[in-house]
Amino acid sequence: MDRSKQTAKARKWFETLRDRICAEFEAIEREAGSDAGFAYKKWDRETEDGSEGGGGVQGLMKGKVFEKVGVNVSTVSGAFSPQFASQVNGASEEHPDFTATGISLVAHMANPHVPAVHMNTRFLTTQTAWFGGGADLNPPLPYEEDTEAFHARLRAACHAHNPTYYDRFSKWADEYFYIPHRGVHRGVGGIFYDHLECGDDVEFDRHFAFTRDVGEAFLDIYPQLVRKRMNEIWNEDEKRQQLEWRGRYAEFNLVYDRGTLFGLKTGGNIDAILMSLPPEATWS
Protein backbone atom coordinates (compact mmCIF):
# COMPACT_ATOMS: atom_id res chain seq x y z
CA MET A 1 0.00 0.00 0.00
CA ASP A 2 1.52 3.28 -1.12
CA ARG A 3 -0.40 6.16 0.41
CA SER A 4 1.32 8.77 -1.74
CA LYS A 5 0.25 6.95 -4.92
CA GLN A 6 -3.29 6.64 -3.58
CA THR A 7 -3.39 10.36 -2.84
CA ALA A 8 -2.06 11.17 -6.31
CA LYS A 9 -4.69 8.92 -7.89
CA ALA A 10 -7.51 10.54 -5.92
CA ARG A 11 -6.18 14.02 -6.66
CA LYS A 12 -6.12 13.36 -10.40
CA TRP A 13 -9.76 12.27 -10.29
CA PHE A 14 -10.85 15.32 -8.28
CA GLU A 15 -9.13 17.61 -10.77
CA THR A 16 -10.73 15.82 -13.72
CA LEU A 17 -14.15 16.02 -12.09
CA ARG A 18 -13.65 19.74 -11.47
CA ASP A 19 -12.81 20.36 -15.12
CA ARG A 20 -15.90 18.50 -16.30
CA ILE A 21 -18.22 20.23 -13.83
CA CYS A 22 -16.88 23.68 -14.69
CA ALA A 23 -17.26 23.00 -18.42
CA GLU A 24 -20.88 21.93 -17.89
CA PHE A 25 -21.69 24.99 -15.79
CA GLU A 26 -20.13 27.29 -18.38
CA ALA A 27 -22.22 25.53 -21.07
CA ILE A 28 -25.35 26.37 -19.08
CA GLU A 29 -24.28 30.01 -18.97
CA ARG A 30 -23.87 29.98 -22.76
CA GLU A 31 -27.39 28.57 -23.11
CA ALA A 32 -28.62 31.53 -21.07
CA GLY A 33 -26.81 34.02 -23.32
CA SER A 34 -23.98 34.70 -20.89
CA ASP A 35 -20.25 34.60 -21.57
CA ALA A 36 -19.36 34.09 -17.89
CA GLY A 37 -16.55 31.68 -17.15
CA PHE A 38 -14.53 30.41 -14.24
CA ALA A 39 -11.56 32.38 -12.99
CA TYR A 40 -8.89 30.23 -11.33
CA LYS A 41 -6.57 31.26 -8.55
CA LYS A 42 -3.74 29.08 -7.29
CA TRP A 43 -2.82 29.20 -3.61
CA ASP A 44 -0.10 27.64 -1.46
CA ARG A 45 -0.65 26.50 2.09
CA GLU A 46 1.47 28.36 4.61
CA THR A 47 3.12 26.37 7.38
CA GLU A 48 4.58 27.64 10.64
CA ASP A 49 8.01 26.12 9.97
CA GLY A 50 8.13 27.09 6.29
CA SER A 51 7.95 23.49 5.06
CA GLU A 52 6.04 22.39 1.95
CA GLY A 53 2.36 22.24 2.81
CA GLY A 54 0.69 21.78 -0.56
CA GLY A 55 -2.09 24.03 -1.77
CA GLY A 56 -4.87 24.16 -4.31
CA VAL A 57 -6.77 25.98 -6.99
CA GLN A 58 -9.89 28.01 -6.34
CA GLY A 59 -12.33 28.28 -9.25
CA LEU A 60 -15.01 30.96 -9.11
CA MET A 61 -17.69 32.03 -11.56
CA LYS A 62 -20.34 34.74 -11.32
CA GLY A 63 -22.82 34.63 -14.16
CA LYS A 64 -26.41 35.02 -15.26
CA VAL A 65 -27.60 31.62 -13.99
CA PHE A 66 -24.93 30.93 -11.38
CA GLU A 67 -24.90 34.04 -9.24
CA LYS A 68 -21.86 32.61 -7.47
CA VAL A 69 -20.35 29.15 -7.82
CA GLY A 70 -17.05 27.98 -6.41
CA VAL A 71 -15.28 24.75 -7.32
CA ASN A 72 -12.11 24.15 -5.35
CA VAL A 73 -9.55 21.35 -5.45
CA SER A 74 -6.81 21.19 -2.85
CA THR A 75 -4.09 18.80 -1.72
CA VAL A 76 -2.47 19.70 1.58
CA SER A 77 -0.24 18.04 4.12
CA GLY A 78 1.38 18.79 7.44
CA ALA A 79 0.66 18.27 11.10
CA PHE A 80 -2.47 19.05 13.08
CA SER A 81 -2.21 21.18 16.18
CA PRO A 82 -2.21 19.11 19.38
CA GLN A 83 -5.66 20.46 20.27
CA PHE A 84 -7.16 19.54 16.89
CA ALA A 85 -5.37 16.23 16.26
CA SER A 86 -7.49 14.33 18.78
CA GLN A 87 -10.63 15.31 16.87
CA VAL A 88 -9.51 13.73 13.58
CA ASN A 89 -9.88 10.06 12.72
CA GLY A 90 -6.52 8.28 13.04
CA ALA A 91 -4.62 11.30 14.37
CA SER A 92 -3.38 12.07 17.85
CA GLU A 93 -1.03 14.41 19.66
CA GLU A 94 1.70 11.78 19.19
CA HIS A 95 0.81 11.24 15.51
CA PRO A 96 -0.45 14.56 14.11
CA ASP A 97 0.69 14.16 10.48
CA PHE A 98 -1.91 14.21 7.71
CA THR A 99 -2.43 14.48 3.98
CA ALA A 100 -5.76 15.50 2.45
CA THR A 101 -6.97 15.92 -1.11
CA GLY A 102 -10.47 16.74 -2.25
CA ILE A 103 -12.95 18.72 -4.29
CA SER A 104 -15.48 21.11 -2.80
CA LEU A 105 -18.33 22.84 -4.64
CA VAL A 106 -21.06 25.28 -3.65
CA ALA A 107 -23.42 26.97 -6.11
CA HIS A 108 -25.74 29.87 -5.28
CA MET A 109 -28.19 30.59 -8.06
CA ALA A 110 -29.63 33.85 -9.38
CA ASN A 111 -33.16 32.47 -9.82
CA PRO A 112 -34.76 31.43 -6.50
CA HIS A 113 -36.53 28.55 -8.29
CA VAL A 114 -33.16 26.94 -9.05
CA PRO A 115 -31.83 25.00 -6.06
CA ALA A 116 -28.48 25.85 -4.56
CA VAL A 117 -26.25 22.85 -4.04
CA HIS A 118 -23.21 21.58 -2.18
CA MET A 119 -20.93 18.68 -3.10
CA ASN A 120 -17.57 17.52 -1.85
CA THR A 121 -15.53 14.35 -1.85
CA ARG A 122 -12.15 13.83 -0.23
CA PHE A 123 -9.40 11.36 0.67
CA LEU A 124 -7.48 11.78 3.92
CA THR A 125 -4.56 9.94 5.45
CA THR A 126 -3.38 10.04 9.05
CA GLN A 127 -2.38 6.80 10.78
CA THR A 128 -5.19 5.39 8.68
CA ALA A 129 -6.80 6.49 5.41
CA TRP A 130 -10.38 7.02 4.32
CA PHE A 131 -12.80 8.57 1.85
CA GLY A 132 -15.66 10.89 2.73
CA GLY A 133 -18.01 13.33 1.11
CA GLY A 134 -21.50 13.65 -0.29
CA ALA A 135 -23.90 16.03 -1.95
CA ASP A 136 -26.99 17.84 -0.72
CA LEU A 137 -29.65 19.99 -2.34
CA ASN A 138 -30.53 23.38 -0.88
CA PRO A 139 -33.59 24.90 -2.60
CA PRO A 140 -35.00 28.19 -1.28
CA LEU A 141 -38.28 27.16 -2.97
CA PRO A 142 -38.45 23.36 -2.82
CA TYR A 143 -40.07 21.29 -5.58
CA GLU A 144 -40.95 17.76 -4.50
CA GLU A 145 -40.17 16.31 -7.93
CA ASP A 146 -36.70 17.93 -7.94
CA THR A 147 -35.96 16.59 -4.48
CA GLU A 148 -37.03 13.10 -5.52
CA ALA A 149 -34.97 13.22 -8.73
CA PHE A 150 -31.85 14.30 -6.81
CA HIS A 151 -32.28 11.59 -4.19
CA ALA A 152 -33.13 8.95 -6.79
CA ARG A 153 -29.85 9.57 -8.63
CA LEU A 154 -27.82 9.38 -5.43
CA ARG A 155 -29.77 6.32 -4.35
CA ALA A 156 -28.83 4.58 -7.60
CA ALA A 157 -25.16 5.45 -7.09
CA CYS A 158 -25.26 4.05 -3.57
CA HIS A 159 -27.12 0.85 -4.46
CA ALA A 160 -24.56 0.02 -7.13
CA HIS A 161 -22.00 -0.43 -4.35
CA ASN A 162 -23.84 -1.41 -1.16
CA PRO A 163 -27.58 -1.84 -0.52
CA THR A 164 -27.22 -0.22 2.91
CA TYR A 165 -25.38 2.91 1.76
CA TYR A 166 -28.31 5.13 0.77
CA ASP A 167 -30.35 4.63 3.94
CA ARG A 168 -27.26 5.13 6.10
CA PHE A 169 -25.85 8.11 4.25
CA SER A 170 -29.12 9.95 3.62
CA LYS A 171 -29.93 9.67 7.34
CA TRP A 172 -26.43 10.94 8.11
CA ALA A 173 -27.02 13.94 5.83
CA ASP A 174 -30.34 14.73 7.54
CA GLU A 175 -28.65 14.64 10.93
CA TYR A 176 -25.57 16.59 9.84
CA PHE A 177 -27.15 19.35 7.75
CA TYR A 178 -29.31 20.57 10.61
CA ILE A 179 -29.26 23.96 12.31
CA PRO A 180 -29.97 23.30 16.01
CA HIS A 181 -30.45 26.92 17.05
CA ARG A 182 -33.06 27.37 14.29
CA GLY A 183 -34.62 23.93 14.56
CA VAL A 184 -34.54 23.49 10.77
CA HIS A 185 -32.58 21.54 8.17
CA ARG A 186 -30.27 23.41 5.81
CA GLY A 187 -31.95 21.95 2.76
CA VAL A 188 -33.76 18.83 1.53
CA GLY A 189 -30.87 16.46 2.11
CA GLY A 190 -28.83 14.13 -0.01
CA ILE A 191 -26.07 11.88 1.26
CA PHE A 192 -23.15 12.39 3.63
CA TYR A 193 -20.52 9.79 4.41
CA ASP A 194 -17.17 9.70 6.16
CA HIS A 195 -14.48 7.31 7.37
CA LEU A 196 -14.77 4.73 4.58
CA GLU A 197 -11.44 3.33 5.69
CA CYS A 198 -8.87 1.91 3.29
CA GLY A 199 -6.94 -0.71 5.20
CA ASP A 200 -5.55 -2.22 2.01
CA ASP A 201 -5.52 -1.68 -1.74
CA VAL A 202 -8.75 -3.62 -2.22
CA GLU A 203 -10.63 -1.34 0.16
CA PHE A 204 -9.08 1.73 -1.44
CA ASP A 205 -10.24 0.64 -4.88
CA ARG A 206 -13.74 -0.14 -3.63
CA HIS A 207 -14.26 3.13 -1.76
CA PHE A 208 -12.59 5.15 -4.51
CA ALA A 209 -15.01 3.65 -7.04
CA PHE A 210 -17.95 4.66 -4.87
CA THR A 211 -16.59 8.17 -4.42
CA ARG A 212 -16.17 8.53 -8.18
CA ASP A 213 -19.77 7.43 -8.69
CA VAL A 214 -20.97 10.07 -6.23
CA GLY A 215 -19.22 12.67 -8.38
CA GLU A 216 -20.72 11.21 -11.56
CA ALA A 217 -24.19 11.20 -10.02
CA PHE A 218 -23.87 14.87 -9.11
CA LEU A 219 -22.62 15.80 -12.57
CA ASP A 220 -25.55 13.94 -14.10
CA ILE A 221 -28.49 15.20 -12.03
CA TYR A 222 -27.68 18.74 -10.92
CA PRO A 223 -27.31 20.31 -14.40
CA GLN A 224 -30.66 18.71 -15.28
CA LEU A 225 -32.33 20.51 -12.38
CA VAL A 226 -30.67 23.82 -13.27
CA ARG A 227 -31.82 23.66 -16.88
CA LYS A 228 -35.32 22.70 -15.76
CA ARG A 229 -35.77 25.76 -13.52
CA MET A 230 -33.42 28.49 -14.75
CA ASN A 231 -36.03 30.21 -16.96
CA GLU A 232 -38.80 30.22 -14.33
CA ILE A 233 -40.35 33.62 -13.63
CA TRP A 234 -39.82 34.82 -10.09
CA ASN A 235 -41.19 37.70 -8.02
CA GLU A 236 -39.83 39.88 -5.23
CA ASP A 237 -41.42 37.80 -2.50
CA GLU A 238 -39.68 34.69 -3.82
CA LYS A 239 -36.39 36.57 -3.97
CA ARG A 240 -36.90 37.65 -0.37
CA GLN A 241 -37.42 34.03 0.63
CA GLN A 242 -34.20 33.10 -1.15
CA LEU A 243 -32.17 35.77 0.65
CA GLU A 244 -33.56 34.78 4.07
CA TRP A 245 -32.82 31.12 3.33
CA ARG A 246 -29.26 32.08 2.39
CA GLY A 247 -28.88 33.58 5.85
CA ARG A 248 -29.65 30.18 7.36
CA TYR A 249 -27.15 28.57 4.99
CA ALA A 250 -24.45 30.99 6.08
CA GLU A 251 -25.21 30.33 9.75
CA PHE A 252 -24.73 26.59 9.30
CA ASN A 253 -21.48 26.93 7.41
CA LEU A 254 -19.96 29.37 9.88
CA VAL A 255 -21.12 27.66 13.07
CA TYR A 256 -21.39 23.93 12.41
CA ASP A 257 -19.70 22.88 9.17
CA ARG A 258 -16.78 20.51 9.76
CA GLY A 259 -15.17 21.37 6.42
CA THR A 260 -14.95 25.03 7.38
CA LEU A 261 -13.36 24.11 10.70
CA PHE A 262 -10.90 21.71 9.03
CA GLY A 263 -9.79 24.37 6.56
CA LEU A 264 -9.29 27.00 9.24
CA LYS A 265 -7.45 24.60 11.57
CA THR A 266 -5.06 23.41 8.85
CA GLY A 267 -3.97 26.76 7.46
CA GLY A 268 -6.10 26.64 4.33
CA ASN A 269 -6.80 29.54 2.00
CA ILE A 270 -9.42 31.76 3.65
CA ASP A 271 -11.11 32.78 0.39
CA ALA A 272 -11.40 29.15 -0.69
CA ILE A 273 -12.69 28.06 2.72
CA LEU A 274 -15.37 30.74 2.80
CA MET A 275 -16.35 30.52 -0.87
CA SER A 276 -19.46 28.64 0.32
CA LEU A 277 -20.97 31.83 1.69
CA PRO A 278 -23.68 33.39 -0.49
CA PRO A 279 -23.03 36.62 -2.39
CA GLU A 280 -26.04 38.26 -0.76
CA ALA A 281 -28.23 37.30 2.20
CA THR A 282 -30.67 38.88 4.66
CA TRP A 283 -31.78 38.28 8.21
CA SER A 284 -35.27 39.29 9.30
User: Count of residues for the chain?
Assistant: 284
Distance (Å, whole) CA 48 – CA 28: 42
Q: How many CA atoms lie within 13 A of 217 on its CB side?
A: 28
Distance (Å, whole) CA 161 – CA 178: 27
Spell out a b/e string for 9-32, using b for 16 or more CB atoms within 10 Å of the CB, else e.
ebbebbbebbeebbeebbebbeeb
At 39 the three-state DSSP class reads strand
Look up residue 118 and give its amino acid: H
Is 118 considered catalytic here? yes
How do 39-44 and 54-61 pair as beta strands? antiparallel
Active-site hit among 108, 118, 151, 185: 118
- 144-159 vs 165-176: helix crossing angle, rounded to 10: 130
Which residues have a catalytic role annotated?
Answer: 118
